Amino acid sequence: MLLEEMEQNIVRRGALMPCRTAFIDAHTPGSNQKENFTIIGGGVSESVDQHVHINEAIGFNIGAAGQPPKCHNSLHSHRTAEVFFVQSGRWRFFWGRDGNAGEVVLEEGDIFNIPTGIFRGFENIGTDYGLIMAILGGDDAGGGVIWAPQVITDAAEHGLVLGQNGRLYDSKKGEALPEGVLPMPPLTAKEMEFFGEPSTGEVVPHYVARYWDLMALADHQPAKVIGPDAMLRDRPGFELDFVTRGSLDETAVSFDQPVVLMPARGHWKLSWSGGETILNSGDTCLMPAGLVHSLVPSMTGEVSMFRVWKTDDPAGPTMNLG
C-alpha cells in the first residue's frame, strides 16, 4: 500500500469536518454550539449536512463530539453500545430519565462504556474547547438515537422537528415534513419505564476505566479494556485494548480484520511495506486487514493508544459480565 493510499485511511484531528446541525437539539440553548463528527461508518447524524470521512462498514462506528465550555449534549439513548474516551478537556457525564440518577467526571484518556437502556448526556466542564471520541456498536449504530421526551419538545419550540424517517426539518428555514412523513413522537410515560435509573455506584465501578490505571496495566503488554475478560467485561460486538511505550516493540504484525488505531496521547510512527507516517493524538487510522505493519513511539515522552476491532458477538446491549 502506497503512502497516498494509506492517508485515505487516516483522519487527522486537524482535518475533522464538523456538523453543527447534526441532531434535534442543534437550536436548543445550551446545546446549540456542539459539533458532531462522523469519522468511520455512517454514524447516527439526523442531518443531511453531516460529512462522513470514511464510509466503510467494519462492524462499528467511530465518531466524535466537540464542544466549547458549558455546552452540553441532550439526554438520549442507543440500542447498541456507546463508548466514549476523552481526547481533550474535562467532561461531566450524567444519566437517568431526567439526567439526575448519577454522574461522573472524566479527564483526558478516561473511557466510559455507557450502559444501554439508560438516557445519557454530557457536558464540557473544562475551560477550553474539548473533544471526546465515540465508538458505537453495529454498522447502523442501532438504527439511530432515542431522545428523552423533553428534548423533542424543547427542539420543536426552537424550530426543529425530527421525522419518523430519521431526518431533521428546520421550520426557521421554511422546511416542513414531506408528505406522508410524520413527526417522531415523544416516548410515552409507559415507554419511559423501560429506561433504567442506575446510581453512580452501580455504573462507575463496572463501566468506567481511568487513564492512569490503564497506563499502569499496559506497562509490559496491551491492557484489555473492553471484552469478556477485560477491565470492563462486556460483549458489545467489538473489543478494545490500550497500548503504551512498554506494550509494543518494533515487531511487525497483521490482523485478519480491520483494526482502528486511535492515539490518545503522544506521537506514533506507523510503518508498513509501502511507507511510514506519524499518527498523532486525536488522529484515527483504519488499518486494513492483512496489512503487515509496526507501531513505535516517534518521540520521547508519554504515548498511548486505543485499538478497536470487531468480534463475532452481535452488536447489541451492554452486558456487564462483571
Same domain as 177, residue 35: yes
* Cα 176 from Cα 285, distance rounded (Å): 39
Q: How far is CA 321 from CA 57, 112, 126, 200, 315, in A?
A: 27, 15, 33, 18, 15
Q: Are residues 237 and 158 in the same domain?
A: no
Together in a domain, 187 and 236: no
Please list the pLDDT of the chain residue by residue as tens digits (322 residues).
Answer: 888 999 999 999 999 999 999 999 999 999 999 999 999 999 999 999 999 999 999 999 999 999 999 999 999 999 999 999 999 999 999 999 999 999 999 999 999 999 999 999 999 999 999 999 999 999 988 778 999 999 999 999 999 999 999 999 999 899 999 999 999 999 999 999 999 999 999 999 999 999 999 999 999 999 999 999 999 999 999 999 999 999 988 788 999 999 999 999 999 999 999 899 999 999 999 999 999 999 999 999 999 999 999 999 999 888 766 5
Reported pTM: 0.95
Q: What is the CATH number of the domain that holds 252?
A: 2.60.120.10
181 and 231 together in one domain: no
Q: Are residues 196 and 228 in the same domain?
A: no
For the record, the C-alpha cell of 36 comes out as: 458532531
Last residue of a domain, one of 141, 174, 208: 208
Torsions phi, psi for 40 (to 5 deg): -130, 130
Does residue 301 lie in a domain region?
yes
Range of the domain at 44: 14-208
* Total domain count, the chain: 2
Both 178 and 143 in one domain: the answer is yes
Closest CA to 115 of 74, 162, 167, 78: 78
Report the C-alpha dihedral over residues 69, 154, 191, 79, rounded to 10 degrees. Answer: -40
- Considering the domain architecture, whether residues 148 and 287 belong to the same structural domain is answered as no
280 with 189, same domain: the answer is no
